[in-house]
Structure 1
Amino acid sequence: MNSTRNPRRNPTTPNQTPLSQRRLKTKPVLAILAILLLGNVLWFISWLIPDKGKEIGSDEQVAVIDGDVITRQDWMVAMEDRYGKETLQNLVNESVMEKAAAKFKIKVSDKEIDLELALMRSAQDKFDTAMQNLSDEQLRQKLRSQLILDKVLTKDVGIEESSIKKYYEENKALYNIETSYRTSVIEVDSKKKADEALSELKDGSDFSVLAREISIDSASASLGGDIGFITEKQENVDEAIIKAAIGLSDGDVSKVIKLDNGHYAIVQVQEVAKGQSFTYDDVKEHIERELALEQVPQHVTPEAFWSEFKATWYYGEEKK
């Protein structure tokens, strides 16, 4: 959030984990960033599908501009042209990974997905923009597919337990996760505007819609005010925002606050993720898998398994 974040402090201050030591924890984020973005598109396209009984090629009007009509068919064709290939690829990849899990007898538990979610939320990187508008179910499915792929790739790679224990002992701080707050902000340049915005919210206006309309922080405004998960000790977010957020529960909206840059803001907490501490037994398999991934070919994607599971698609090409 450009207009509300303070300059970053020295990254090597005591009690702050160096970026190089965070690598294992954040690696799954980089691997699934692209397909998570496609999840949004899949949801949006599914929403566009007409009600049962209507033809997809219907001439139903969805917009009119100075007499020019845009039909549902026009809309659907445009969506398929822009996003159809990527969305279909995402669906095929998920199906292929499920086939791989069955073939290699791979299991992915809810507990494992919960761990990956907690680690991602504490990574404090730009992953949160990819999570925007993803339902919990969509996000968990993406993580499940990635975990299956990782387990397939590392099933024959052995890691000494001493290496796993050594990494855990050297990086225990990574697995003591603070409570974090999924936060949205509306930022304006005067208290009067902030008071007016708060009044609108109390009258029932949607926070994300209002943020897109009036917030002067362009980075967060484009996401409906969403700045992702923040923690009490976060160093790159205005302290006033942090103080406001940690006093709120899910769905609550703060009073008007003043920011360090002289602007005013309103904060909403969408979700509170309680802090967790993970023991060696909790994260042993996670660390082992991440260390093993260092020993397998890089940039392996689900497409590498399409041929094995006879997957084809109909965009004028066949994956081999």
Structure 2
Amino acid sequence: MNRSNVLKSVVILQAVCMIVLTGIVVMKVWPLLQPRGNTQTNELNTTHDNGQDGNAADQGSENEDKETVASVGGKPIARSDLDAELYRQYGDAVLREMMLRMAMDMEGEAKELDVPQEELDEAFAAEAEGYDSVAHYLTVMKEQLGLSESQVKEGLRYRLLMDKIRMEDIQVTDDEVEQYIIENAQLFEPKVSYHLQWIVTTTEVQAQSVLEKLEMGEPFGELAGQYSQDEFTKDSGGDLGVIDAKDPFYDQGMLQTASAMTIGETAGPIAIDEGYAVILLADKEEEAQETGAALTEKVRKKLALELAKPQKTAEDELLAKYHAVVSK
């Protein structure tokens, strides 16, 4: 991966973090903030059925609170201390999100708003578009954010439900949708992407030498390993992966050159910030242009959300509507 690709990955990850940050706190910390001991009616009934007065459960809770979860220099850290620290740092955010999700569920039921599985699946696929595959996306979510697939989808479901709540009373006409599409036609052009490999050299003469070796039949990947100055890609045959044709993180001259190439063709030298590049178009993909009802509804939602109240305002009003009260 070259430096621009590293930057791209960082930006994508930052965007994902912004989206899921609130949900992460709930998903990862919520279980640790649940009251311990006699919190469930069925647990109370079980102890009473056994002829006990609940003292056994209280004792169990005390033992659990004293459980050692870690130690430093032989000094233990008790689960109760961990819970207290988690509550101190994240308690307010977790509590708000718990209440908000309950209020969203109530509003969804009252207004008959839901998120069908098909809609959730489509949104999930869209979330993974910036990655090599869905599996890669889930790996990043797990390794970087600690989220399982079910946790990612649950957070996404609530985001979609909140969008529906915000848009419920907003009307966007067909004429407004059509006008937006006409005025922003460039946004709906077919998506084109290139799978590129490159060899980066310091001088144009070196790049010409590489081209000559390619013309003599030497493999591109081997030449990348021998001559490329890009430490991120030289050991993988100069593979840059799949790049969107309009990706602003890559040299536009290089992408313009790629647009006129056929699969398997090489080109260069191309002047870039790092020096000169010789590129190989390994593959080219073009997605069908989105049209019809799917495009209409996508634009309608976009316009409705732009007209809707800010999300924080909508959340506060929803909590007030369902009398969310913090008892502490």
Alignment TM-score, normalising by the size of structure 1: 0.51
**Greater helix fraction, Structure 1 or Structure 2:** 2
Partner of 1:268: none
Cα distance in 2 for residues equivalent to 1:119 and 1:173: 16
Alignment pair present for 1:117 and 2:129: no
Match for 2:93 among 86, 95, 101?
86
DSSP-derived class of the 1:236 partner: coil
Q: Is the 8 A contact 1:61 1:70 kept in 2?
A: yes
Q: Is the 8 A contact 1:5 1:237 kept in 2?
A: yes
DSSP-derived class of the 2:65 partner: coil
**Structure number with bigger Rg:** 2
DSSP-derived class of the 2:80 partner: helix
Identical counterparts, % of pairs: 19
Alignment pair present for 1:55 and 2:61: yes
Question: Mean alpha-carbon deviation: is it higher for 294-303 or for 89-98?
Answer: 294-303
Alignment pair present for 1:44 and 2:44: no
Alignment TM-score, normalising by the size of structure 2: 0.50
Change (3 A) 1:90 1:49: closer
Change (3 A) 1:139 1:6: closer
Cα distance in 2 for residues equivalent to 1:157 and 1:48: 39
Q: Deviation per CA, 1:92-117, whole angstroms, max 9, x where unpaired?
A: 11111111111112232223233333
Q: Deviation per CA, 1:107-140, whole angstroms, max 9, x where unpaired?
A: 322232333334444479xx98898332232222
Cα distance in 2 for residues equivalent to 1:71 and 1:46: 18
Partner of 1:291: 303
Partner of 2:4: 5
> What amino acid does structure 2 have at the position aligned with 1:132?
L
Alpha-carbon distance, 1:173 to partner: 5.0
Alignment pair present for 1:106 and 2:113: yes
Alpha-carbon distance, 1:60 to partner: 1.4
Cα distance in 2 for residues equivalent to 1:298 and 1:65: 46
Q: Is the 8 A contact 1:118 1:177 kept in 2?
A: no
Partner of 1:72: 79
Question: Mean alpha-carbon deviation: is it higher for 58-67 or for 75-84?
Answer: 58-67
> What amino acid does structure 1 have at the position aligned with 2:65?
S
Cα distance in 2 for residues equivalent to 1:48 and 1:313: 18
Cα distance in 2 for residues equivalent to 1:285 and 1:44: 34
Q: Is the 8 A contact 1:62 1:72 kept in 2?
A: yes
Q: How does 1:129-140 map to 2 (within 5 A)?
A: 132-140=145-153
Cα distance in 2 for residues equivalent to 1:297 and 1:75: 38
Change (3 A) 1:134 1:303: farther
Q: Is the 8 A contact 2:141 2:147 kept in 1?
A: no
Q: Is the 8 A contact 2:67 2:78 kept in 1?
A: yes
Alignment pair present for 1:282 and 2:294: yes
Alpha-carbon distance, 1:72 to partner: 1.1
Q: Deviation per CA, 1:219-274, whole angstroms, max 9, x where unpaired?
A: xxxxxxxxxxx843356389xxxxxxxxxxxxxxxxxxxxx99xxxxxxxxxxxxx
Cα distance in 2 for residues equivalent to 1:153 and 1:36: 19
> What amino acid does structure 2 have at the position aligned with 1:38?
T
Q: Deviation per CA, 1:263-314, whole angstroms, max 9, x where unpaired?
A: xxxxxxxxxxxx7864431243232122122223334332211121122223
DSSP-derived class of the 2:169 partner: coil
Cα distance in 1 for residues equivalent to 2:288 and 2:101: 29
Partner of 2:219: none
> What amino acid does structure 1 have at the position aligned with 2:308?
V
Cα distance in 1 for residues equivalent to 2:162 and 2:109: 12
Bigger relative contact order, structure 1 or 2, given CA contacts below 8 A and separation 6+? 1
Alpha-carbon distance, 1:83 to partner: 1.1
Runs of 5+ unmatched residues, structure 1 = 10-25, 181-216, 218-229, 239-259, 262-274
Cα distance in 2 for residues equivalent to 1:7 and 1:62: 37
Change (3 A) 1:46 1:153: closer
Q: Is the 8 A contact 1:45 1:79 kept in 2?
A: yes
Report how many residues are paired: 212
DSSP-derived class of the 1:63 partner: strand
DSSP-derived class of the 1:64 partner: strand
Question: Mean alpha-carbon deviation: is it higher for 161-170 or for 103-112?
Answer: 161-170
Change (3 A) 1:8 1:141: closer
**What is the Cα-based RMSD across aligned positions, in Å?**
4.6
Question: Mean alpha-carbon deviation: is it higher for 39-48 or for 150-159?
Answer: 39-48
